[in-house]
Structure 1
Amino acid sequence: MTAVTAFPTNTRTPRTSERGGKSALAPYSFLAPALILFAAFLAAPIIYAGYLSLRKVKVSGLGLGRGSRTEIWAGLENYTRSLSDPDFLPSVYRVGAYGMIVVPTMLGLALLMALLLDAGRTRVGTFARTSIFLPYAVPAVVASLLWGFLYLPRVSPFNDALEGVGLAAPDLLSGSWVLWSIANIAVWGGTGFNMIVIYTALRAIPTDLYEAARLDGASDSQIAWRIKIPIVLPSLIMTFVFSLIATLQVFAEPMTLRPLSNTISSTWAPLMKVYRDAFTRNDVYSAAATSVIIALATFVVSFGFLKLVGNRAFNQED
């Protein structure tokens, strides 16, 4: 009889298994630096701020001796104090008015410039894109200082130009103009970034759609309104969310302009109130509670907006 040799069904060698295990771990090794930085510089501070928001200092006696100040559990007391602070709601209203000016203006200009560049109406495409994007590369503090000196009546060249033609120059740092002046800095700095995002989405659209529309007799404006804008709607929504988050976290512009004008209070924006509580009043617990409130409000507004328009814009299904 012929001997039948039995072969094992599992032909994987230990070396193959080791290679498979190393291949499975490879993505995590690439992600590890980003995860470590995220945990150390974003997640950990957020958790610590939440912890501080639930604590307070109990002072015994005059608060001078050792052990006279102890940290105790405060519950929601810091949140109650932050929400009932008379300076908190006015700062929220100011930021709301600021956002109503900045977001539509900035996104409208970004969309218009992106459409003009994509339509080929300008023959200096690279130069135009770089020039429009360049203000975004200027730090907010530097941009605020530059615009602040342009706003000052004594040193502003705008005032000299207006006075040269017999017109009275407005005080752009006065109470009636300061909101518009701060909004102008944000629009000047953020339009270029949003334009690049929208323009990139426009360049990804197949040109066959434009050729078919022109064969049907569509003009450039009709192509832009009926083809380009609906297709880049997800990019518009993304830039809107980014702009909304930046609006709720406005800090650098009013904080930098504050020494140049007495119309900008120390609590002009919610984050300025956080700075005042933490570094002027030395009340880090109330500042932490306000920070958590701002973070939660930002998350709720952003997530709610995405949930409202996500199904339509991104073709999502429940």
Structure 2
Amino acid sequence: MRKRTGAPYAFLAPALLLFAAFLGAPIVYAGYLSLRRVKISGLGLGPGSRVEQWAGLSNYTRSLSDAEFLPSVGRVAAYGLLVVPVMLGLALLMALLLDAGRTRVGGFARTAIFLPYAVPAVIASLLWGFLYLPRVSPIADVLEGAGLSSPDFLSSAHVLYAVANIAVWGGTGFNMIVLYTALRTIPRELIEAARIDGASDVQIALRVKVPVILPSLVMTFVFSLIATLQVFAEPMVLRPLTNTISATWTPLMKVYRDAFVRNDLYAAAATSVVIAAATFALSFGFLKLVGARAFRQED
């Protein structure tokens, strides 16, 4: 019997140390802060006037009962219902078209579709923000030149779609590359056998390719779900351009406001823990629901 060596642990040690330092420790510290509060004596001036003490679950009670928290959750839910199906649907369609050889400029097409993902979310939001503003938007000029009225993309009726559009524009390319890479691993003999049996391109795509890459679809869905729950940059950048995006438009924006505007780190930490728990529960629940079918696992 071979003796165990420490080589595997030595290779894992740097990654584990970085994870513990930059992810594990902040999570633990946020959990600690969420159970604390500051008691202020007098005017809060001088030594001993501010004392940190145990708060129990009171910060969580304040966070969940905040009148602005549930509306922000509802907006994120509506945002996710828009972004995730559209983004994954477009990514799958483009990946299937590229894999089927329907485009003669495959390399250029892959690069062009993926390129928006390489643009940072802040820059993309700024670019789209100027495209949304009627006074500077070329879209408004084109519509007015065609005799059509330009909609106010940042109005209360359209702002959700405006934010969702930025996410779809930026995320479709990444998911397309993941799905296209999975499609390229399918044995060509399997596709040729289906073609010999008389299957059309659409039938091959729906009955052969999509079932085979189902694990990759599940993975991209989970990543998209996590990104949806953490949406922050897009509405935060667009906020100065319109009064329809509040400081608590999403849960993470509420965390930012509590921590850096109101200087209430304890309430912000509690909300962060709630968001993290919801992200874990939804991701784990979805994987548990579809894992047996997608990854051929048995309970």
TM-score, with length taken from structure 2 = 0.98
In structure 1, runs of 5+ residues without a counterpart are: 1-16
Q: How does 1:115-134 map to 2 (within 5 A)?
A: 115-134=96-115
Output the CA distance in 2 between the equivalents of 1:290 and 1:216.
Answer: 56
Q: Which amino acid aligns with 1:267?
A: T
Letter in 2 for 1:132: I
Per-residue CA deviations over 1:100-125 (Å, capped at 9, x if unaligned) read 00000000000000000000011111
1:66 and 2:47 correspond = yes
Aligned to 1:171: 152
SS in 1 for 2:37: strand
Aligned to 1:255: 236
Helix, strand or coil for the counterpart of 1:129?
Answer: helix
Distance 1:55 1:211 in 2: 64
Shift of 1:233: 0.7
User: CA deviation digits over 1:283-318, x for unaligned, max 9?
Assistant: 000000000000000000000000000001100012
Which residue identity does 2:190 align to in structure 1?
A: L
SS of equivalent residue, structure 2 residue 6: helix
Partner of 2:170: 189
Q: CA deviation at 1:52?
A: 0.1
Tell me which residue corresponds to 2:265: 284
> Which of 274, 280, 292 is the aligned partner of 1:299?
280
Give the one of 59, 62, 66 matched to 1:81: 62
Cα separation, 2, equivalents of 1:66 and 1:210: 75
TM-score w.r.t. the length of structure 1 is 0.93
What is the number of equivalent residue pairs in this alignment? 299
- Of 179, 187, 208, 1:227 maps to 208
CA root-mean-square deviation: 1.2
Which of 262, 268, 273 is the equivalent residue of 2:249?
268
Of 78, 81, 84 in structure 2, the residue corresponding to residue 103 of structure 1 is: 84
- Partner SS for 1:289: helix
Residue 33 of structure 1: how far off its partner (Å): 1.5
Residue number in structure 1 paired with 2:143? 162
- What secondary structure sits across from 1:263 in the alignment? coil
List structure 1 segments (4+ residues) > 3 angstroms apart after TM superposition: none
1:145 aligns with 2:135: no
State the percentage of identical aligned residues: 79
Decide which of 25, 34, 55 is 2:15's aligned counterpart.
34
1:48 corresponds, among 21, 24, 29, to 29
